[in-house]
Amino acid sequence: MLKNKDDEIVGFFPPKRLIAVFLVVTMLLTLGTAMSCITVFSIHLDLGPEWMVGIISFIVILFSMINFGVTRGSFVCWKVLEYYALLLSLISIPSLLMAKTAYLLMFFAINSLMLFSAFYLIRSHSYKKLVQYQFNHFSDVKEVKEAVEEEMKRNRKRQKSHNTR
């Protein structure tokens, strides 16, 4: 662990609290996505199983790419993930209001609770701090990589000039 000029401890991994928030958001959105897809495809739309699998696979791949961008410190991916959670939350409200049985009401209530919790956590200071931490981390990695490459170029020039003598 090193200390940077702002006296913040800089390590390879973000603080455990930030990792925990990220993992909770990821799990909530994964489960919320699955439950929302089940709701939309089985109740609101009448799609065949091959269409359901194809659409869910596409959504999961897209979600994974956006989530990966968040782990790399992308503020754009963070905003997209925030809007994704909000969209899923808003989609879950009509289902909650149209529930016909107590079991469906409980299912939709749990789904809505998970999605609104994920949206709340994404908008939290901790999640933003995680994205900023990752952004700074990968900026530092890029800076160090460029410095090492520059030093290697200088060493190659020295070796060439030393070998030609």
Query: Running DSSP on this structure, what letter comes out for residue 123?
Result: T
Per-residue pLDDT at 2: 44
SS3 for 136? helix
Per-residue pLDDT at 155: 86
Per-residue pLDDT at 39: 83
Domains of the chain, by residue range, sit at 16-135
Instruction: Kindly state the helix (H) or strand (E) to which residue 7 belongs, with its residue range.
Output: none
Please list the pLDDT of the chain residue by residue as tens digits (165 residues).
444 445 555 566 777 888 899 999 999 999 999 888 888 887 778 788 888 888 888 998 999 999 999 988 889 999 999 999 999 999 888 888 888 889 888 999 999 999 999 999 999 998 899 889 888 888 888 888 888 888 888 888 888 777 665
Q: How far apart are the first and last CA of the chain?
A: 44
Per-residue pLDDT at 101: 87
Q: By CB neighbour count within 10 A (0-12 exposed, 13-18 middle, 19+ buried), where does 95 fall?
A: buried
- 71: how many CB neighbours lie within 10 A of its CB? 15
Nearest to 11 by CA among 1, 20, 24: 1
Nearest to 1 by CA among 137, 112, 98, 150: 137
One DSSP character per residue, 23-55 reads: HHHHHHHHHHHHHHHHHIIIII----HHHHHHH
Per-residue pLDDT at 92: 87
Distance CA 80, CA 54 (A): 22
